[in-house]
Chain A
Amino acid sequence: MPGGMQLKTEVLATSTCALCGACLDWCPYLKNLEDHLVLRFDCPVTEQGRCYSVCPRTFTDWQAINDRFLAGVDYDTDIGAFQTVYRVKSRQSIRDQQDGGTVSTLLRTALLDELVDGVLVTGKEDALTPWPFLAEDAAEIEKAAGSRYLVSPSLRKIIEAREKGLEKLAVVGRPCQVQALRKMEFNRPPDSPALDVLSIGLFCMWSLSWAFKDYLAKTYPGLTFSRMAIPQHEVELTSNEGIKSLPMETVQEFIRTGCRYCLDMTSELADISVGAFEPVPGWNTVVIRSDRGKELLDRAVSQDLLQAEEYPPEELNRLRQASRNKKARGLRNIKQAAEEQKLTPFIDMSQPPYQAIMEESSGKEGF
């Protein structure tokens, strides 16, 4: 397994990096500041590099990983292996909740029921700036409510979890982060300690670079923002001087290059995936994948903390299509970048699911 220099040339320098943060761990060569992640000094490791082995953007056989962690679960080529999909909302209102408050509730349940001894979540410094932290106390979870649109390499906190002696962790992550967590376990050297992770994967289209903050500071000098949301196809920013709306096109300019190569909208490898329920505000879409994920939802529902209802089939199809579109865009971007010699593909594009998707949806524009 190559090391830091290969990570740099293949992932960091090609802008393929998803900024999941998994590579950072204890490595003194990799450095993250805001939304930058660099090899600050040349690394001498050329074999068995941990960073390379956990990175979701190095060449991976995702089928093998799926078969290891979601064995026996029916596989769907659009949204990954899953047992059931529900629409869910919290029975109590949660301050700053983005949609249904489901993730916050699931985390509280996991901690209070001692399924985990800590949670890794992303709070906020100000409304926009993400700030990952570890919580061992359920009361701290509310600090992490709400969606973060600016990218955060939150997995850089894993090292702290180890140092604190936490053995079972619930992690809320983007699809790339869930991928990294699975690779961490899949590629873990046999004599190295395991970290038991219960993954709550989020739905994700993209993350924004922190240049978006600079843009807002320049465009709206002096304003402070308390919330960002994308209700339909406009971005709404709640400020101390009312709501500012931005067209999607403006915001899309700040989408990270690395996000454009992503093929996973619904966190297909998580124990449980959560996203917005598009038709009705205040509700979440929840995808149960593993038995651990099922157990977590069941507990929250049986304790009357969450309300889970049937998922409308037409919504499921719409969800599938959206996910398929993202894969198509991602594949097209990877193909184009590979042709321009900007990167080497990190998945085998000749594999059936990828081939089929690309053939089906040529002609759509990528972002």
Chain B
Amino acid sequence: MEWMVKANEPGKTYLLQGNEAIVRGALEAGIRFAASYPGSPASEIMAMLGRVAGEMDIYAEWSTNENCAFQACMGASMGQVRSLCVVKQNGLLTIGDALHTAALSGCKGGVVLLAADDPNAHSSTNEFDSRHQARAAGIPMLEPATFQEAKDMMVYAFELSEKLQQVVMVRSVTRICHGRGNVTLGELPESPSQPLPIGEWDRLVAINWFHDMLFAKLDQAQAEFENAPFNGYSGPENPELLIITSGTGWLYSVEAVEALKLEDKVGILKLGTTWPLPEKLVLKYLEKTSRVLVVEEVDPVLEQNVASIIGHNPGLNVSLFGRYKKSALPQSFELNPDVVINALATLMNTEYQPRQTGEVPAEAVVNIPPRDLTFCAGCPHRASFFLLKQTLRIHEGNGVVMGDIGCYTMGGQRAGHFLLHSVACMGAGINMGEGLGQLSRFGFDQPVVALAGDSTFFHSCLPGLVNARYHDANMLFVILDNSATAMTGFQPHPGIDINCMGQPANSISIEKVVEAIGCPVVVADPYEIEATTQIVYDLIKQPGMKVLILRQPCATLAVRTKGRRKVWVDPELCRGDECGCGRFCSKTWGCPGNIWDYEAGKAKIDEVVCIGCGVCATLCPAGAIKVEEGGAV
């Protein structure tokens, strides 16, 4: 909770979310500047910093993209101010070049890069292990294993960053970020860090000449890490099997050892500082065992670093197990206590039987329908995909649609009538569209459509739009403008006139940007399905680069600000299955607000879920769906 994060109660223990613990840690470290782009599992961090910014006298920014965020932090760092940049794993890859050059130039005021990974990709397209980047860029890295560490490591990281004049990564994962647990608060600083004047020769310049210096900083970090409070061993003096673990792997390993009752045979070396590894510490425990299991998320990064130590110390006699080549753990997807228990049981040749439920006779087993994701009730994307699908079917049914990242990525599924031909990363839609659209010169004549949300547009489509216009691609670029970065929690973006801290901001008109670039642009309302179908149809027939903005606010946001409008089915008019429409509203339109009353045999509106957009009423062939007049939407 926000008040816990701000509380001036050192020593008090609260239940904090991992993200909240990170915020608290950053505040205790005295940050003054924070920048991020929304991305699960880390979105809550900047959202909370934005809310407390006024009171805590800091600056918090939802940057247009992660590059802006990270480089802004580097800029603030030049003013000797402590800066926090928060990214998810995909965002970390976005700032690849920026990160590597920053590592070369170093920083002034402490810069901590909080990289939040999403093992299992619960809310991501892929599961990428950010730790590779720390090693690749040559910056020190910490991994919290508990919520307490998530807080404490922030303070440690900022101090380290300033000592080394180097960017420090703290790498968290979903189970820490979104989990909650006990966190004992520390002290908030009297006053946060003040900007200091920058002298003529105070520089942050990335030149390769500094490459050796980068390594020197790493060596310095390593020396610090040998005594860091986040590393420690528990277990027998000479364990039969040594678990080396970091991050969430630690608590799973502890639980596994307990579950298998192997406390006197298996030791656990927990590491919180994982790049560079405190080699002396690791060696000390490697020497005491002949078998090592490395437990970590997502990739065998720690494992391969340990393997490197083993390889450089030929005197050791150690067999190494872990995720590499699935030698003990799966090579992909998330860890959990069961996975680790099973791996440990196999390695230690013991049995583990989880507690069982009662037996269920075959005829009592219920067939549970899966719960697929779909657009929220009233979502404008549902209308957009519906009209795009029907327009492309009208246009000989052979249009190619490039998707992008956001709620509308679900348009590749049933919710969007399987419209998308491609999904990659932010900004990919327009670029892939441009490439395919160029093939018209070779006789390719299928219509090319690319999608992007409004936040995605600002994040990464601007160069793509310029490129497509400059090269006059034959394509239609559709911007789905729902006035929010919805998928990640309705954060504002440059098209919105308030900022992260709730203050007024200079919103930027998407259509003016598009016009300035020189593309013909049309703005239409996706709720007006028939009229907009005609617009899309006409645009597709034109050659060259065209832009269409489908503008209607996100339904979930609209309902919070404007309230709901009543929609209901008149049972006298609904013809039920006799209609022959095949339950068009619930099956084909597919809004969760349109349900079927199995008893009455007619369509029905779920009033708990319906927000009142009224689009289904325009589709019902019997005109049985009624909408309250004069309502909000």
Contact = CB atoms under 8 A, between A and B. Distances in A.
A31 interface: yes
Interface in B306-340: none
A214 B390 CA distance: 22
A33 B534 contact: yes
Interface of A is mostly: loop
B587 A38 contact: no
B582 interface: yes
A45 B533 CA distance: 25
B580 A33 contact: no
Taking chain B's interface residues, is the majority helix, strand, or loop, or is none over half, making it mixed? helix
A40 B394 contact: yes
Contact size range, B:
20 to 34
A40 B529 CA distance: 13
Contacts of B619: 28
User: Which of A28, A31, A34 is packed against the most chain B CB atoms within 10 Å?
Assistant: A28
A4 B581 CA distance: 11
A68 interface: no
B390 A50 contact: no
Given A41-B389, A41-B588, A33 B397 contact: no
A36 B389 CA distance: 14
B395 A36 contact: yes
Contacts, number: 50
B516 to A, nearest CB: 28
B535 to A, nearest CB: 11
| Residue from A43, A50, A163 having most chain B Cβ neighbours under 10 A | A43
A34 B394 CA distance: 9
Interface in A12-56: 26-29, 31, 33-34, 36, 38-41, 43-45, 48-50
Interface residues of A, number: 20
A26 B584 contact: no
Nearest to A50: B580
Interface in B11-31: none
Nearest to B587: A44
Given A28-B584, A45-B580, A40 B393 contact: yes
B621 interface: yes
B94 to A, nearest CB: 37
B622 interface: yes
B41 to A, nearest CB: 36
A41 B583 CA distance: 13
Interface in B574-595: 580-582, 584, 587-588
A40 B390 contact: yes
A26 B77 CA distance: 65
Nearest to A37: B394
B536 to A, nearest CB: 10
B243 to A, nearest CB: 53
A33 B394 contact: yes
A33 B581 CA distance: 20
Nearest to B387: A40
Contacts of A50: 580
A33 B533 contact: yes
Given A41-B389, A41-B417, A41-B588, A31 B394 contact: yes
Contacts of A45: 580, 582
Q: Which of A33, A36, A43, A45 has the most CB of B within 10 A?
A: A33
A130 to B, nearest CB: 16
Given A26-B622, A33-B534, A41-B417, 20 more contacts: A27-B580, A28-B581, A28-B584, A28-B619, A28-B621, A29-B584, A31-B390, A33-B391, A33-B394, A38-B393, A38-B394, A40-B389, A40-B393, A41-B389, A41-B390, A43-B582, A44-B582, A45-B582, A49-B580, A214-B541
12 contacts: A26-B621, A27-B581, A28-B581, A28-B584, A28-B620, A29-B584, A31-B394, A33-B391, A39-B393, A40-B393, A41-B417, A43-B582
Q: Which 9 pairs across A and B sit closest by C-beta, in order of nearness?
A: A40-B390, A44-B582, A26-B621, A28-B584, A36-B394, A38-B393, A41-B588, A33-B394, A28-B621
